[in-house]
Structure 1
Amino acid sequence: MTVYRATVLVQQDVEARPRRRRVRGARLAIGVAVLFALGTAVRAAGLETGVFLVPMVSFTPYFTVAALAMLAFAVAVRSRAAIALMLAVCTCLIWCVAPRTLGGLGSAEGRPLRVLTANLNGGRGDAAVLVDLVRRLNVDVLSLQEVTWSARARLAAAGLPELLPYQVSRPMFRGPEGSGVYARHPLRERTGLFQPVGHHMPVVEVALPGGSAVEVVVVHPVAPVPSTVPEWHAGVAALPPAPTTGPPRILAGDFNATLDHAVFRRLLATGYTDAAAATGQGLVPTWPQGRGLPPLVAIDHVLTDGRAGAVTVQVHDLPGSDHRALFADLRLRPWPAVRSPAGARRTSSA
């Protein structure tokens, strides 16, 4: 009799083990689903603050993939609560991320303007490769960040002035503060448009053939590292909103922000369009490059106001830099002509 009872108890224990595993799995699924829901709420409501959440929100596309895997786990453990929660999470995240992959080729109508932006990593970017990109892509406007005096000299030696003879530059001896813009057509520097917070961010007005002009802002706020998160937020927030009158405005550079940062999305909401997202390239990463890891996030952007659109966007490696160069083939729609910039110059530096 004792042996029989022991056998029954062992059999009951064996039968109960799968149920206990399912219960534990369901509890784990619910707990993790709650964490995913909290993370999704931070992204959807733009609640990221501080030294942890601001960088982490950059990885929202990867968070979306992880959420889909978590949904599959919830289905596997048959947790209805976790399944329901993860379905809501995945729907929200896909709604946030998917549009930047669904853009198509823009309209080819309008005046072409080919823009290239590149961060030179404290002047270490390969000048010859960059000039070759300018030549092959037939670039009209080049926006550069982290320009040093030595980098500017190497660009000149590589032949950049022959391709883009007009420039406004603010190089530094070292570090990330320097910047510059080179153009195929005459340009003049503008002041008073906004108060930059961060590195040098010159504004130029480029005269186009036919008497019209386009405004270009070189963008480079500080990176959101632990000591500079407030300054980073202020730098992105200070960028000028999209205009509805005057020359079309283009913002091009290293924004140190992705399409998932709330402060960047508020800038877009003023009337800008991200060229990469509009052409289905919004998930193509531009940073970091050459650090033993593949590029992970897209923090370099070309933004256009409502009077311009992108036909194609390409990303190119730039040896020596920790960023990839971003090229946007734009089309400017007709707008009232303005006077060509007076005092256009081939060289400007400070």
Structure 2
Amino acid sequence: MRTRAASPPGRRDRVRTWLCWLAVTPGLVWAAVRLPGLERGPLVQAVAFTPYVAAWAPAPLLLALALRRRWPAAVAALVAAALLGVVAPRALPSPRPPATGPTLRLLTANLLAGAADTRALVDLVRAHRVDVLAVQEFTPRAAAELDQLGLAALLPHRQLNPQVGTPGSGLYARFPISGGGVRLNRGGWGFSQAYGTVTPPGGPPVRVESAHPAAPYAIDQVGYWRTDLTAQLPATPDAGLRVLAGDFNATLDHAPLRALLATGYVDAADAVGVGLVGTWGPYDGDPIPPVTIDHVLVDRRIAVHAVAVRPVPGSDHRAVFAELRLPTA
């Protein structure tokens, strides 16, 4: 009987080495794009899924260690440490600033061109005792339904720009709104952003804006997406307080959003350790894992006490609630 000869040790070693490098390379390329913020074209959409890649990153390391491949193991360890290092802190609370002023409760929701269940939204406003509501993709029909369902009594002050389709935006408040207006983005869909300044009793004035930059849903929209994000108002650490709340169409892994945060904002969900909770997806039945593109960005002098992500039937986005403690006036 003839027996098959065993593979030479050198050949087995080469196969194991190449197998390890094959497993390590995708994470290495991903880190090389994500860490310096080099996402362009279709990579903009891909980078949104960085938390999932970070969760997978230790697998190539374990493989390389099991096969005793020193160099692939070293590179895999660096990749895993880098990706987990930028993602894992979102699941950990950060120290709060010493804010001792009044509480401000804020809710933001994308209404999917007015298709969201307005009754469910008003119920959220009641349940969370919301002081400020920011809405995107806000339509005239949604505006009428919200008032019919009691929002006018709960949040009587408003700066609204309802539009048919997706461009509309609105801002509702329990307190008077001053200096209100509507800002138009330059993106392909022409999303608008309602804004105004609210002053809670005993607290400082806070400028709140319902943010909605363009979506990078196609390669020819990426430029608009980047322009709209770059045009968002920076924080003013030495002046008045600002809050941007809405559908940013960007995650904390996108360089333009990180640059906006660097001006003096804090992502509220990140601050309390729930920054990995998805707010969008799956979309239209497609098997897309949820990503976190809806945010409440607050001046870093504001203390974030709680954040909750809540479903809104009829919308592909989830609402984000944030309980904030303002500095003293």
Number of equivalenced pairs: 323
Q: 2:304 aligns with which of 299, 302, 310?
A: 310
1:148 equivalent in structure 2: 139
| Within-5 A mapping of 1:109-124 | 109-124=100-115
Query: Which amino acid letter does the alignment assign opposite residue 297 of structure 2?
Result: L
Query: Structure 1: where are the runs of 5+ without partners?
Result: 336-350
SS at match of 2:223: helix
Deviation, structure 1 residue 78 = 1.9
Q: Relative to structure 2, which stretch is displaced further, 196-205 or 277-286?
A: 196-205
Deviation, structure 1 residue 111 = 1.3
TM-score for both structures, normalised by structure 2: 0.92
| Within-5 A mapping of 1:174-213 | 175-190=165-180, 196-198=185-187, 199-210=191-202, 212-213=204-205
Q: 1:165 aligns with which of 156, 168, 176?
A: 156
Is 1:263 the counterpart of 2:256? The answer is yes
Query: Which amino acid letter does the alignment assign opposite residue 265 of structure 1?
Result: R
Query: Which amino acid letter does the alignment assign opposite residue 266 of structure 1?
Result: A
Distance (Å, rounded) in 2 between the aligned partners of 1:49 and 1:134: 38
Q: 2:323 aligns with which of 323, 329, 332?
A: 329
Q: Relative to structure 2, which stretch is displaced further, 278-287 or 99-108?
A: 99-108
Deviation, structure 1 residue 87 = 0.5
Distance (Å, rounded) in 2 between the aligned partners of 1:204 and 1:191: 6
Q: 1:136 aligns with which of 114, 127, 136?
A: 127
Q: Deviations over 1:90-113 (max 9, x none)?
A: 111111111111115846733100
SS at match of 1:33: helix
Q: What's the Cα RMSD here? A: 2.1
Distance (Å, rounded) in 2 between the aligned partners of 1:128 and 1:191: 26
- Cα 1:290–1:44, aligned 2, differ >3 Å: closer, same or farther? closer
Deviation, structure 1 residue 39 = 1.3
SS at match of 1:327: strand
Q: Deviations over 1:49-99 (max 9, x none)?
A: 11x100010111111112111211222222111101100101111111111
1:225 equivalent in structure 2: 217
Q: 1:243 aligns with which of 215, 221, 236?
A: 236
Q: Deviations over 1:181-231 (max 9, x none)?
A: 000000024459x77434101220113223731110110011101131100
Distance (Å, rounded) in 1 between the aligned partners of 2:271 and 2:194: 25
Query: Which amino acid letter does the alignment assign opposite residue 334 of structure 1?
Result: T
1:47 equivalent in structure 2: 38
Q: Relative to structure 2, which stretch is displaced further, 99-108 or 117-126?
A: 99-108
Deviation, structure 1 residue 291 = 4.0
TM-score for both structures, normalised by structure 1: 0.87
| Within-5 A mapping of 1:9-20 | 10=3, 13-14=5-6, 16=7, 20=11
Deviation, structure 1 residue 289 = 5.1
Is 1:278 the counterpart of 2:271? The answer is yes
Q: 1:89 aligns with which of 79, 83, 93?
A: 79
- Cα 1:211–1:277, aligned 2, differ >3 Å: closer, same or farther? closer
1:254 equivalent in structure 2: 247
Q: 1:105·1:311 contact (CA, 8 Å) conserved in 2? A: no
Deviation, structure 1 residue 176 = 1.2
Q: 2:159·2:180 contact (CA, 8 Å) conserved in 1? A: no
Q: 1:286·1:295 contact (CA, 8 Å) conserved in 2? A: no
- Cα 1:294–1:110, aligned 2, differ >3 Å: closer, same or farther? farther
Q: 2:184·2:193 contact (CA, 8 Å) conserved in 1? A: no
- Cα 1:209–1:18, aligned 2, differ >3 Å: closer, same or farther? same
Q: 2:185·2:214 contact (CA, 8 Å) conserved in 1? A: no
2:55 equivalent in structure 1: 65
Deviation, structure 1 residue 294 = 7.4
Distance (Å, rounded) in 2 between the aligned partners of 1:289 and 1:308: 32
Is 1:298 the counterpart of 2:289? The answer is no
Distance (Å, rounded) in 1 between the aligned partners of 2:166 and 2:43: 24
2:21 equivalent in structure 1: 30
Distance (Å, rounded) in 2 between the aligned partners of 1:138 and 1:230: 38
- Cα 1:94–1:211, aligned 2, differ >3 Å: closer, same or farther? closer
The percentage of counterpart residues that share the same residue type is: 45
Deviation, structure 1 residue 18 = 7.1
Distance (Å, rounded) in 1 between the aligned partners of 2:168 and 2:127: 25
Q: Relative to structure 2, which stretch is displaced further, 26-35 or 16-25?
A: 16-25
Q: 2:204·2:326 contact (CA, 8 Å) conserved in 1? A: no
Distance (Å, rounded) in 2 between the aligned partners of 1:77 and 1:131: 57
Q: Deviations over 1:148-172 (max 9, x none)?
A: 1111111111111110001111011
Deviation, structure 1 residue 236 = 0.5
More helix per residue: 1
